[in-house]
């Protein structure tokens, strides 16, 4: 029997957990620093007591920026094998979190297998699963019914749950006054909004928030407080609806910490580049430096098919200015369920953004691999360069597709390679081009 219910409770009591030991070692962060920040809520270690295959990760101040991959079964694509292939790809690339966003049928078939094999943190959005799990239409679901789904996911071993508790009567009033261009683009948020409007009731996750926290505390599930009113276009970013909900989330964050439940705060969305830094500062201030989890943000709305790039640009800026956790975006965003290649492209783009931000933030050791890559480039050691790459397969394929006559160069420069020329001169050798 553990002497604590959650990682936060353990930290407040000065207890070093096995998960803290793992995070401290991975991050080379002194234990006293880690335990202090977990106790304050500035670092979360999502680790459900029933997720036995987990390799714990920390999210928050002073740690590497983590990335999340969205997967799951939908009504239009019920291919369990393909989704599991995406899971294995995500694990191979070292992604720290996988969110199962399944919204079709009895979703726990896929989720239970995912939890069984995944060393990555597992997240879910119980709202997506409510209709299938409860076998009721939206209007027929009661407030307490929604809590049953939260508990079912917690029991299965989910490490963090996105719960849209910040959308309530007050924030809906602000949203309606704003007259947005793209209204509500959060799937879970839109379903809750519809339920509230149809029934005339308050958001059950807000009304029964203390009961939700008790469920999460029992299994040490981190609450990821969803941003139902996140902007779905750069036109709507930083508007009254978004900020009003963020203020509510700040209060909900403190209430969760009082019950020793760890918190992630979810953020935008779509946002022009010049607004991102200010939004990160505002979130950290209003939400008491809780770890910030952002989708993108996408910095333009006109690049369907390339939104992994628009997201990576925004994600790099966001993380460099304080975001702690990036949700990947694939080229298929806004268009279809991503295939395996889309997932790979989204992962690589997000890892580039996260790593670039860690360099900018001065995370210890972040530049080490870049320096090794640069040294290998100077020596023109192709095998070593491939080994340091985020995706080692793609650069090898590019290089081998048009190989140079001289393996100490590439086919772009040939014998005019700047590295080759400089190396020869510094070694006292004669440079011959012909």
Binding-site annotation: residue ranges for [4Fe-4S] cluster: 410, 413, 417
Question: If you count them, how many residues does the chain have?
Answer: 434
Preceding omega of 269 cis (within 30 degrees of 0): yes
Binding-site annotation: residue ranges: 70, 99, 128, 164, 186-188, 227-230, 266, 270, 293, 334, 410, 413, 417
Reported as half-sphere exposure (CB side, CA atoms, 13 A), residue 186 has a value of: 30
Collapsing DSSP to helix, strand or coil, 258 comes out as helix
Inter-residue contact 343 to 80 (CB < 8 Å)? no
> CA-to-CA distance for 390 and 180, rounded, in angstroms?
39
Name, in order, each residue with C-beta under 8 angstroms of 20's C-beta and a sequence gap of 6 or more.
7, 10, 11, 31, 34, 35, 38, 45, 56
Neighbours of 52 (CB within 10 A): 9
Name, in order, each residue with C-beta under 8 angstroms of 143's C-beta and a sequence gap of 6 or more.
201, 204, 207, 208
Using alpha carbons, list the distances in angstroms from residue 119 to 56, 157, 166: 8, 12, 30
Binding-site annotation: residue ranges for Zn(2+): 270, 334
Specify the residue for token string 């409770």: 9
Classify residue 390 by burial, with Cβ atoms within 10 Å: 0-12, 13-18, 19+: middle
Inter-residue contact 89 to 119 (CB < 8 Å)? no
- Strands 43-44, 59-60: pairing kind: antiparallel
Query: Of 329, 321, 287, 285, whose CA–CA distance to 305 is shortest?
Result: 329
DSSP 298: B
Binding-site annotation: residue ranges for substrate: 70, 99, 128, 164, 186-188, 227-230, 266, 293
User: How is 341-375 classified by DSSP, letter by letter?
Assistant: HHHHHHHHHHHHHHHHHHHHHT-TTTTHHHHHHHH
Classify residue 150 by burial, with Cβ atoms within 10 Å: 0-12, 13-18, 19+: buried
Measure the CA angle with vertex 373, ends 322 and 378; round to 5°: 135
């Amino acid at each position: 029997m553990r002497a604590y219910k959650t990682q936060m409770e353990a930290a407040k009591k000065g207890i070093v957990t096995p998960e803290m030991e793992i995070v401290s070692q991975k991050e080379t962060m002194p234990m006293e620093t880690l335990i202090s920040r977990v106790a304050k809520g500035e670092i979360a270690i999502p680790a459900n007591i029933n997720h036995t295959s987990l390799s714990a990760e920390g999210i928050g101040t002073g740690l590497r920026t983590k990335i999340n991959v969205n997967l799951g079964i939908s009504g239009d694509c019920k291919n369990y094998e393909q989704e599991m292939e995406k899971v294995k790809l995500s694990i191979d690339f070292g992604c720290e979190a996988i969110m199962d966003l399944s919204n079709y049928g009895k979703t726990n078939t896929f989720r239970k297998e995912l939890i069984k094999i995944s060393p990555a943190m597992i997240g879910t959005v119980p709202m997506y699963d409510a209709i299938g799990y409860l076998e009721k239409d939206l209007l027929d679901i009661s407030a307490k019914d929604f809590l049953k789904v939260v508990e079912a996911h917690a029991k299965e071993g989910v490490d963090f749950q996105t719960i849209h508790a910040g959308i309530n009567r007050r924030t809906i009033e602000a949203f309606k006054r704003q007259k947005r261009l793209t209204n509500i683009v959060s799937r879970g948020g839109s379903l809750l909004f519809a339920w509230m409007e149809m029934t005339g009731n308050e958001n059950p996750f807000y009304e029964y928030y203390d009961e939700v926290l008790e469920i999460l505390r029992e299994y040490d599930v981190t609450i990821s407080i969803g941003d139902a009113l996140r902007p779905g276009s750069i036109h709507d970013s930083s508007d009254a609806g978004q900020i009003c909900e963020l203020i509510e989330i700040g209060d909900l964050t403190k209430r969760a910490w009082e019950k020793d439940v760890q918190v992630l705060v979810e953020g935008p969305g779509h946002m022009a580049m010049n607004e991102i830094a200010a939004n990160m500062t505002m979130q950290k201030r209003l939400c008491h430096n809780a770890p910030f989890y952002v989708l993108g943000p996408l910095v333009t709305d006109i690049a369907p098919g390339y939104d992994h790039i628009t997201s990576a640009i925004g994600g790099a800026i966001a993380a460099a200015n304080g975001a702690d956790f990036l949700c990947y975006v694939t080229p298929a965003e806004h268009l279809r369920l991503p295939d395996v290649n889309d997932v790979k492209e989204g992962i690589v783009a997000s890892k580039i953004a996260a790593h670039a931000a860690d360099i900018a933030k001065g995370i210890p050791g972040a530049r080490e691999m870049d320096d090794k890559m640069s040294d290998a480039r100077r020596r023109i050691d192709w095998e070593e360069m491939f080994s340091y790459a985020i995706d080692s397969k793609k650069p090898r394929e590019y290089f081998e597709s048009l190989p140079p006559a001289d393996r100490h160069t590439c086919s772009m420069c040939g014998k005019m390679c700047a590295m080759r020329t400089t190396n020869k001169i510094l070694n006292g050798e004669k440079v011959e081009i012909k």
